[in-house]
Structure 1
Amino acid sequence: MPHLFDTLIRCVLLLDGSGAAARLADVAIRDGRIARIDEPGAIDPDSASNVVEGHGLVLSPGFIDVHTHDDTNVVREPAMTPKISQGVTTVVVGNCGISAAPVTLAGDPPDPMNLLGRADAFRYPDFKTYVAAVNAAKPAVNVAALVGHTALRSNHMDRLDRPATEAETAAMRGQLQEALDHGALGLSTGLAYANAFHAPTDEVLALAEPLAKAGAIYATHLRSEFAEILDAMDEAFRIGRHARVPVVISHLKCAGVSNWGRSGEVLAALEGAERWQPVGCDCYPYTASSSTLDLKQVTNDFDIQVTWSEPHPTMGGRLLADIAAEWNVDLLEAARRLQPAGAVYHCMEDADVDRILSHPATVVGSDGLPNDPLPHPRLWGAFPRVLGHYARDRELFPLAVAVNKMTGMSAERFGLTGRGFVREGYWADLVLFDAATIRDAASFTDPQQPAEGIAAVWVNGELTWRQRAATGVRAGRFLPRGTQQQH
C-alpha cells in the first residue's frame, strides 16, 4: 500500500515563521509541500515513507537570505554549501546594483561586478537565459533575482563615470522589462560605488518606472552609509514614491566612527517614511562590512583587513595598516597599489547593529561574498549567529521574532509566495535545529566553517543537509516573483 506522506517530522517545537509562539507538532510532507500539521502523535508514522524524530528540536521555515551575491555561484557551484549548511533554503541575488543577468561584457567586469566572478562567469545576455541556467544547474537552494542597475549601465554605456543619456536609459529600461517579464523581483542599485555614483537620481527615477506594473520592488545600497546617510535615505524613498513601489534599504548601517550612535535618527527616518510608503531594510549581524577595497573608505579610524589582491595575492588576510607600514607608504597609497582588491572594514559599533537588527522593519541578509578567498564569516554564519548569539545568548529578541525576520517577513517583503511559513499547502522548505546549541562557527580568521546545531534541511520537500553533511540531493529552482512555481 503506498504511503500517504513522503516524510513525517515528529514531535518538533514548531516556529511557523509568523512570529507566533512555538508549539509542539508533527509535520508531514508530500510532493514537495507541507501536507499536514497536527498535534504530536496524531499522524501515524506508518503513513510516511521516511520518519524523522524531532524531539527537543525546533522546526522552522528554511531561512531566506534576502541579500546575497551568489548570482553566478548557484550555477557554477550548485552545492551551495555555505548557505545550505546554515539552514538557508532560498537566496535573493542581484543586490547592490550588480547582477549576473542581463550582462554583456566588453572586457573585465567593472568594480564591483567583479565580486560575482571573472568575465567568464557572466554568460547571460538576457534574464531568461539566466533563469534557464539556474534551473538546469539544480542548485541546492532556491534562487530569486533582482536586476542590477550597474549591470544595466555596463551593458549600454561606454563610460560609467557620467549620467546615462535618454537613449541609454531607454535601452536599460527595455532590458529591465524583459527581466520583469521573466520573473525578476525588481531593480537594485549600488549608488555608493564609483561606477554608479555618477548616475543622478533622475536616471534611477526613469529606470524604476516599469516596476509598479510588474508588482516589483526597489532595493538599494544607499548612495552613502556615512555622514550623508539621511540624504541618501531620502533619495531612496523619493524613488520609491515616484515608482509607486516598496523600498528595501540594503544592509542598513551606521558606517564610520563619526557615524556611530546615529542609528536612532536613521531608524526614525525609516519610520517617518513608513507612514507614507512601504519601506523596510535588511541587516547582517556583524559590526564589520566587506566589499571591494574602496579608496573612499580607506581610513585609520578602524581596522581594514585585505581579503584579496590581484597584483599582491600574498597580502590577503593582512591588515592594510601593516601592509602600508611594510611598504613605507600611507594607507591610501597602499590601497592603490593593491587594486583590484577586497577588504573587510571593522566600521560599525555593537549598539547600532543591535538597534537596527532588532527593529521591526528589519529582515536578515548575509551579504556574503562567495568568491572571496578569505570571506567575511557572514557567508557561512549569519543566520545561526542571529539565532545563537543575538536571540539566545544576548536575548536581543525572542527566538520566534528571530525566525520571523529570516523567514515569513522576508517572503512577504520579496513576494515569495508559498514560502517563508510552515503552513499546509506551502512549499516544504524547512530547517530542523537545536536552539540550545546553534551557533556560527565561522570567524574572521577561519571563516569557511559550517554552523553548529543544524540537524536537517529540506528544500522543496527533499532532505538536502543532515548532521553537518550534504545528502547529495539538490532540489532548488528559480523562483519567479509572486507566483507559486509548479513542478
Structure 2
Amino acid sequence: MSQCDLLIRNARIVDGSGAPVRNGDVAVTRGRIVAIGDLSGWVPAEVVDADGKVLSPGFIDVHTHDDTNVIRQPQMWPKLSQGITTVIVGNCGISASPVTLKGDPPDPMNLLGTAEAFQYPSFGAYADAVNTASPSVNVAALIGHTALRQNQMDTLDRAANAKEIAAMRAQLAEALDYGALGLSTGLAYANAYAASTQEIMALAEPLADAGGIYTTHLRSEFAEILDAMDEAFQTGKHARVPVVISHLKCAGVENWGRTVDVLKALDAARKEQVVGCDCYPYTASSSTLDLKQVTDQIDILITWSEPHPAMGGKLLAEIAAEWRLPQLEAAKRLQPAGAVYHCMSEADVRNVLKHPATAVGSDGLPNDPMPHPRLWGAFPRVLGYYCREQQLFELPEAVHKMTGLSAERFGLAERGFIREGYWADLVLFDPETVRDLATFTDPQQAAEGIAAVWVNGVLSATDKQPTGRRAGRFLRRGRIGNTLPAAASAV
C-alpha cells in the first residue's frame, strides 16, 4: 500500500498545460508530487478533501517589483493570498542586485525601497539573503539594466561607453553564472532612455550561452510602440535569445485601438524568433510620476509624494485645482512621487490578455502606501472577471497563462504543472466564487475563493489566512530554449 505525506482528494485538476479539467487525487511526498489519479488505496499522513474545487499549479507572477520585499517582508501576503507561489523580480531594468549605490536610488529604482533596502553588491549575496529570509513564495530574478548602469556610470543621461559596457557585462555574466534568469530593461525611463540600441545589444550578448532571456519595458508604449517593439525584436535576434515584452499595452487615448496592429507585429516576429509578452488585467498602469505622461485626457491618481505626502490618494487634477496650478506644474511640485494612470482601453486589454503568447503578471508596487489593486488582485481577477464572467477564455487556458506558460518561458524547472516529480506548488480555489476584492480606493484586500496554497508541499495559506509556514526558496535558472518550435507558438 502506497504512502504519502499529503493526499488531496476529490479535486478538479487543471494541470497548467491547457488540457481539459479532469477529476482525481494528488499525492505529495517530501515537497514533490508523487502520484496523480484515483489514489483511493493510498495511506496519507495528512488528507485534504478538495470537495470538487479546482486544484491547479501555484500561480507564477512573471512581472513583479518584490525584489527587496521578499527579504524585508517575507510573509508576502499580497501575493500568497491570491495563490501566487513564485515571483519573478528584477523587471523593468530595476533590480536589488547587483547594486552598489552612490547615494539615493535613482528613479525608478526607488520603487524598490530607500537606500537602506539595497544591501546586495553581488547577485550571490542577494540569493543567499532570499534563502536566509525564507519567504513564503519562491523567488527567481532578472538583472536590471538601469541597476547595472548606475553601478558603472557617473551620469545616466547618456549612452554607456565601451569600458562601462564591459563592466556591466562582467556583472551580468557573474549573475548569470549564479542562476539569474536574464536581463531586463526599462527603456522608457529617463535613467535608461539615453542608452543606445547598440548598448542593449552588447549587454544581451552573454545571455545566449547562459540560456537566459531578455525582457523589456519598451522604449515607448505610446505612439512609437511599433518602433520600440522592433528594437526589442532586433535585440533578441542579435543576441539569439528569447524576448519578452513586459506589460504589453497601448497607452494614451490617441493610442487606443492599436493592439490590432501591435499584435500583428508580435505574431510576425514570432514566425522568426521566440517572442512573448505579459500583461496585467487592468486598464490603469502605475509607476513613478512621469512628467511625459501628464495630461488632462485621463485620470491620474497620486499614490505617494515625498515632499507632499498628504496628497497621496488624490487625483492630480484635484491637486492642481487646489494649488491653482496647471497639472504639469503641480506634478513637478509633487516629485518624487508615484501615480496610477488610467491610460488604456478595455478592448485593448482584452486583446492582449487573450493572445496565446501572453502570460499574466501583476506589476504590483508593494512599497506604494496606496498601491494599484493589481498588487493584491491580478490573478483572481483573471479567473473571476475575465474567465468566469466575461468568458474571455476557458479555465484551462486561463490557468496555463498563469502557470505552465510562465514556467516554460522563464526556465523554472519542475514548476508550473501538476506532474509527477514536479514540486508541489499548488493552489486550491473555487472557480464559482474566486474574485478580486482590491479596488483603486481600497486596494489592500485579499481575494475571495482561494481555499488553500501549498509552496514546495507546505500548506502556506488556508481560508484567507497565512499559516505562518514559509517554504519559499531562491530558484536558479533552468535552460531556456532559444530555438523556434515547429508550431512557432509554444513560447
Interval of TM-score (by shorter of Structure 1 and Structure 2): over 0.9
Task: Find the aligned partners of 2:454 and 2:148 in 1 and give their Cα distance.
Answer: 35
**Which of 288, 291, 294 is the matching residue for 2:290?**
294
Partner of 2:470: 474
Code of the residue aligned with 2:29 in structure 1: it is R
CA drift at 1:483: 7.0
Q: Are 1:17 and 2:16 an aligned pair? A: yes
Q: Which residue, 392, 406, 409 being the options, matches 1:410?
A: 406
Within 5 Å, give how 1:36-435 maps onto structure 2: 36-39=35-38, 42-44=39-41, 47-435=43-431
Identity of aligned residues (%): 71
Aligned partner of residue 396 in structure 2, secondary structure: helix
What is the TM-score with the length of structure 2 in the denominator? 0.97
Q: CA deviation at 1:43?
A: 3.1
CA drift of 1:38 comes to: 1.2
Residue 457 of structure 1: which of 443, 453, 457 is its match? 453
Aligned mates of 1:270, 1:483 — CA distance in 2: 24
Distance (whole Å) between structure 2 residues aligned to residue 386 and residue 399 of structure 1:
10
Offset, 1:418: 0.2
Distance (whole Å) between structure 1 residues aligned to residue 471 and residue 239 of structure 2: 35
AA of the residue aligned to 2:440 = F
**Contact between 2:211 and 2:479, CA under 8 Å: does it hold in 1?**
no
Per the alignment, in what secondary structure is the counterpart of residue 144 of structure 1? strand
What SS does the corresponding residue of 1:184 show, helix, strand or coil? coil
Q: Tell me, in whole angstroms, the C-alpha distance in 2 between the residues paired with 1:413 and 1:74.
A: 22
CA distance in 2, matches of 1:89, 1:322: 39
CA offset at residue 4 of structure 1?
1.9
What is the alpha-carbon distance in structure 2 between the residues aligned to residue 429 and residue 82 of structure 1?
Answer: 17
* Unpaired stretches in structure 1, ≥5 consecutive residues: none
Runs of 4 or more consecutive aligned structure 1 residues displaced over 4 Å after TM superposition: none
In structure 1, distance between residues paired with 2:57 and 2:425: 6
CA distance in 1 between counterparts of 2:40 and 2:476 reads 33
3-state SS of paired residue (1:254): coil
SS in 2 for 1:139: coil
Deviation at 1:55, TM superposition (A): 1.2
CA distance in 1, matches of 2:479, 2:33: 17
CA displacement at 1:341 relative to structure 2: 0.2
Equivalent residue of 1:380, what SS?
Answer: helix
* Aligned: 1:8 with 2:7: yes
1:412-471 deviation digits (Å, cap 9, x = unpaired) = 000001000000000000000000000001000000000000000000000000001001
Amino acid at match of 1:434: D
Distance in 2 between the 1:338 and 1:155 partners?
27
Q: How many residues align?
A: 480
Distance 2:401 2:307 in 1: 40
Return the alpha-carbon distance in structure 1 between the equivalents of residues 41 and 463 of structure 2. 25
Task: Give the distance between the partners of 2:95 and 2:252, measured in 1 at CA.
Answer: 27
How far does the alpha carbon of each residue in 1:186-226 deviate from its partner, in whole angstroms, 9 at most, with x for none? 00000000000000100001111000000000000000000
Structure 2 segments unaligned to the other structure (5+ residues): 481-491
SS in 1 for 2:111: helix
Q: By how many angstroms is 1:44 displaced? A: 3.1
Aligned-partner Cα distance in 1 for 2:158–2:458: 48
User: What is the letter of the counterpart of residue 106 of structure 2?
Assistant: P
CA distance in 1, matches of 2:414, 2:354: 25
Shift of 1:272: 0.5
State how far apart, in whole Å, the 2-side matches of 1:245 and 1:14 are: 33
* In structure 1, distance between residues paired with 2:136 and 2:246: 25
TM-score of the aligned structures, taking structure 1 as reference length = 0.98
Q: 2:212, 2:479 within 8 Å by CA — same for their partners in 1?
A: no
Alpha-carbon separation, structure 1, partners of 2:294 and 2:3: 60
Q: Counterpart of 1:118 in structure 2: which amino acid? A: T
Please state whether the residue corresponding to 1:442 is helix, strand or coil.
Answer: coil
Post-superposition Cα deviations, 1:346-365, rounded to whole Å, max 9, x if no partner, equal 00000000000000000000
Report the Cα offset of residue 56 of structure 1. Answer: 2.0
Helix, strand or coil: the match of 1:465?
Answer: strand
- Tell whether the 8 Å contact from 2:438 to 2:445 is kept in structure 1 after alignment: yes
Please state whether the residue corresponding to 1:111 is helix, strand or coil: coil
* Matches of 1:328 and 1:224, distance apart in 2: 31
- Pairwise CA RMSD: 1.0
3-state SS of the aligned residue for 1:104? coil
